[in-house]
Amino acid sequence: MAMEVYVQNNKIYFYTDKPEVNALGITDYTDDLWLKIKSKKWNIRYGRRDKKKKMKLHPYIYTKIKGKQIDLHRFIMEYWYGKDELEKATKEGYVVDHLNNKGLDCQISNLCFIPRVLNTSKGNDYDIRRKFIRPLMAINITKDFDTQLFQITIAFNEPATLYNYGKIIPVSKIFFLYERFRRALNDANCIIDDIHEEKIFNIEKLRHIDFEYEIIKYLHFPAGQIEPTFVLRDNGELLLNKDTSKILFNEAAPSQKLYKRNKNKQKEH
């Protein structure tokens, strides 16, 4: 049975009622892309099966064009980069990687051409270890199509402190910017290692070209008041009270300020 496809909040969603698929497929919306997607039938395939647990694993979305199976992530990369670039990358041994290891997330910021061998090593190392470190922090890598820059995003699930030029800064999020994916991946692995072993990492050892951070926002409640899990501030900002919440962050949205700042630098050069 074909998936239901619809548009909401400037995103294109793919839905199936198959119980083993517990997430929506998603990609970015443009008028032209929506016309291409809605004209086709989309279904689910599985990357592999767990024979012991009798489970289907790693769902991917696909369609058929002239009898040939085409995965959504390759369909999307062809739309954004062009057929020639996709064919060239394939011929040179590159694959389309889902940066967050979620095969249903086909947003262009989550897709990247990387060598097949790097895709395999990433899946056997980084993609596994980042799940185990999540009680301490949510770490992800994303890519900006406009600037072609990569960003490591970190949202801390435990209190964290940044030491920057002699200053001690309590932070909730940190963002690191890179020109190359391999450097971003290497640094992400180093950060995971250091946080796992010592619960601290040295920014000076990383190879980023720029970075940003968000300072922890402290909430003060009258004595005796029951502290809420969520707080809506007068400016409309919704804050999560980590002291009372058992919610863990899965990801932090990339810093658009970093991309904008470095886009301007690219223009200057």
Residue 234 corresponds to which tokens in the numbers above?
């007068």
pLDDT grade, residue 163 (50/70/90)?
A: confident
* Range of weakest confidence among 9-13, 57-61, 180-184, 262-266: 262-266
**Greater confidence, 7 or 50?**
7
Give the chain as a 3 state SS string. CCCEEEEECCEEEEECCCCCCCCCEEEECCHHHHHHHHCCCCEEEEEEEECCCCEEEEEEEEEEECCEEEEHHHHHHHHHHCHHHHHHHHHCCEEEEECCCCCCECCHHHEEEEEHHHHHHHHHCHHHHHHHCCCCEEEEEEECCCCCCEEEEEEEEEEEEEEECCEEEEEEEEEEEECCHHHHHHHHHHHHHHHHHHCCCCHHHCCCCEEEEEECCCCCCCCCCCCCCEEECCCCCEEECCCCCCCCCCCCCCCHHHHHHHHHHHHHC
The pTM of the full predicted model, rounded to 2 decimals, is 0.90
Q: How is the chain split into domains, by residue range?
A: 1-124, 128-255
pLDDT per residue as tens digits for the range 86-116: 999 999 999 999 999 999 999 999 999 999 9
Per-residue pLDDT, averaged over 210-238, amounts to 80
